[in-house]
Amino acid sequence: MDYQLSQLSGDVLLGIVNEQLRLHCHDREALYYELDIASELLEQKLSEAGFSYDPISNQFKGTG
Domain parsing of the chain, residue ranges: 5-62
pTM for the model: 0.86
> To which H or E segment does residue 60 belong?
strand 59-62
C-alpha 48/C-alpha 25 separation (Å) is 23
Q: Rounded to 5, what percent of the chain is helix, strand, coil?
A: 55, 10, 35
C-alpha 43/C-alpha 28 separation (Å) is 10
pLDDT at 3: 56
Q: At 2, is the pLDDT very low, low, confident or very high (cuts 50, 70, 90)?
A: very low
Q: What is the pLDDT of residues 5-18, one digit of tens each?
A: 778 888 999 999 99
Q: What is the pLDDT of residues 16-50, one digit of tens each?
A: 999 999 999 999 999 999 988 889 989 999 999 99
Enter the CATH code of domain 5-62: 1.10.10
